[in-house]
Amino acid sequence: MDLLVSTQWLAEEMGASDLRIVDATYFLPEAGRDATAEYAAAHIPGALNLNLTELVDATSPLPNTLPPVEKFASRMQALGLGDGSRIVFYDNSPHHTAARAWWMFRLFGVESVAILDGGLSKWQAEGRPLESGTPTHRHRHFTVAKDEATLRSKDQVADAIAANSAGIVDARSASRFTGEEPETRPDIASGHMPGARNLPYSRLFNADGTWKRGEELRALFIEAGIDLDRPIITTCGSGITAAVVLFGAALLGKTDVALYDGSWSEWGADPTTAKAIGPA
């Protein structure tokens, strides 16, 4: 599969024995929306509910932290995702959370994964079928081979900034990046990491929710001051939309891109980390 698949491609491939469709919708708590309830009400036929809200490390004080290997493997087996599957993620989230699922699965060693371009909204707009309910699944064997090449810790990010060995790309809105808009949690400072560039994740999409591609996409990175010839570390508020920018870079053929999972929730709450205010 390509990194992105079209709604027409998915419609034609539905029913293939090795194809698994996965709803990776996630909403921030303040949105007041229940992704699992919305999945039960309407989803692409045969789709599984990933439930990113629960697919986290429950022992971490940070939001949306990657789950332990054992938890990830157990969850995939319970979903009926097994070895040899082709997996297509979609979402119905303003944060395009299929990208988070795509990155997570790649990190845990699953190679044959793609994102449905335009997500559930495009599928619905085209009048394609939906189903409701919460199906049960047969457990299948799922092999995990975690590779942390695309994951960065706070210390690794600090080292990269000090050595100027990678470009830091912040996916948050411009107002949060500059510090003009304060963080909602009082224990988190405003601003951004020194030397970071700002590429708001929302800019990577067309009006219909499909991904920008080719030179139009490349121009967004260049306009933001990002050197595509250097390694990149993406960051955001809690590691969700950082995956959107990481996937956008992957669409441009970049493989030397990693994600800072703690993101600003960790960096901004640490009084010892360096912080900058204003535009890049």
The one-letter amino acid code at 183 reads E
* Catalytic-role residue among 110, 171, 193, 236: 236
CA separation, residue 133 to residues 36, 41, 43, 157 (Å): 10, 6, 9, 43
Cβ neighbours of residue 71 under 8 Å, at least 6 residues apart?
55, 57
Burial class, 53, CB count within 10 angstroms (exposed 0-12 / middle 13-18 / buried 19+):
middle
Q: Is 53 a catalytic residue?
A: no
Do the Cβ atoms of 132 and 61 come closer than 8 Å? no
Do the Cβ atoms of 2 and 115 come closer than 8 Å? no
Do the Cβ atoms of 49 and 131 come closer than 8 Å? no
Q: What sign results for the dihedral spanned by CA atoms 48, 88, 262, 240?
A: negative
CA–CA distance, 169 with 197 (Å, rounded to integer): 5
CA–CA distance, 47 with 31 (Å, rounded to integer): 23
Report strand pairing: 151-152 vs 167-170.
unpaired
CA separation, residue 40 to residues 7, 12, 31, 49, 260 (Å): 21, 24, 18, 9, 32
CA–CA distance, 208 with 58 (Å, rounded to integer): 35
Do the Cβ atoms of 265 and 189 come closer than 8 Å? no
Positions marked active-site: 236
